[in-house]
Structures are given as C-alpha cells and as structure tokens.
C-alpha cells in the first residue's frame, strides 16, 4: 500500500463532526486531524495574515470568517470523498488467499460479509475470542484491504465492513 492511499484510508476513518468543528474553530488543526499537512500550512499562513490587527480594521475582515467556514466545509467534503473512494475499490480475496487465512480470520470475514457492518464487540460476542485477538485480526484484514473501518454516520461508533 502506498503512502497516498494510506493517508486517504486514515482520512476516511475521521469523524465528520469533529472534523467540521475543529476546522471551523482552528482551521489548520482540523487539516492536521485529517492528515492534510500542506493544506494545514497554507491555512495557518492565511489565518495569521487575516487575523493580523491591520487586516481586521479593513473592510475585508469578513474574509476571515469565510476562510473558517470554507475550510470546514472543504475539509468535511474531503473526508466524505475519502470514504467513497474506499467504497469504490472493493478487493475480493481469491480462493487461494482464503485457504491461507487462519480460521479466526475466515470466521470474521464470513460474519462481516453476512452482517454488513459490525462493531468490535459484535465480533467478540459472535466468536467468543478475546478483544485483543479480534482487534489484531481486524487490523491484519484491514492491512490486506479485506476490511474497511470507519465511524458510522448516525452515531459515530467505529464499525468494520468486509469489502
């Protein structure tokens, strides 16, 4: 997995509510939260320029509010796009890959496929395996792009979905 897709996957896991609030009040911190460092540097520079005393006395002061609102909207949209890009690239494991997986991984994949999305506790209850073992298994499956992890929009709970 290359560095760009890794950043997109990490961005896809970010909570949109936290992203919007953080970016609105501290724009550059919101961009750091969503793993967008160049944008954070640019917005930090613009925030310093627009917040300077000389600039706020001018009639152009509303640009500061526009920057905060625009940055928050743009950053939330980037999280949404990252989530959609993860959904558009389903990678199905080959039969030989499944044969090489340990039993717990296959069991987790089958359950996840049947249920759609599951929480960590759902997997623990269904498999009766330890939370540590399930977490390790899910992380491994995510690394192989067999499972996607994200925050559910309705309540923000971390859920896992088999791709």
The average pLDDT across 108-134 equals 88
Indicate the domain borders of the chain. Answer: 3-87, 95-162
pLDDT at 74: 92
Cα–Cα distance, 117 to 100 (Å, whole number): 24
Contacts of 144 by beta carbon, 8 Å cutoff, 6+ apart = 93
Cα–Cα distance, 79 to 81 (Å, whole number): 5
Topology, domain 95-162: Arc Repressor Mutant, subunit A (1.10.10)
Tokens (6 digits) for 57? 């006395």
Tens of pLDDT, residue by residue over 122-162, are 888 888 888 888 888 888 888 888 898 888 888 888 899 98
């Amino acid at each position: 997995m290359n560095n760009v897709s890794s950043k997109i996957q990490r961005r896809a896991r970010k909570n949109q509510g936290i992203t919007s609030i953080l970016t609105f009040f501290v724009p550059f911190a919101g961009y750091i939260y969503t793993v967008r460092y160049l944008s954070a540097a640019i917005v930090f520079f613009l925030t310093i320029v627009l917040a300077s005393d000389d600039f706020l006395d001018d009639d152009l002061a509303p640009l500061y509010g526009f920057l905060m609102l625009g940055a928050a909207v743009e950053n939330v949209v980037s999280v949404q796009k990252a989530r959609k890009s993860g959904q558009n690239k389903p990678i199905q494991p080959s039969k030989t890959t499944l044969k090489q997986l340990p039993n717990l991984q296959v069991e987790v994949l089958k359950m996840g496929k049947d249920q759609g999305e599951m929480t960590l506790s759902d997997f623990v209850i269904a498999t009766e395996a330890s939370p540590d073992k399930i977490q390790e298994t899910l992380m491994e499956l995510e690394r192989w792009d067999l499972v996607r992890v994200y925050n559910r929009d309705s309540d923000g709970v971390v859920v896992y979905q088999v791709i």
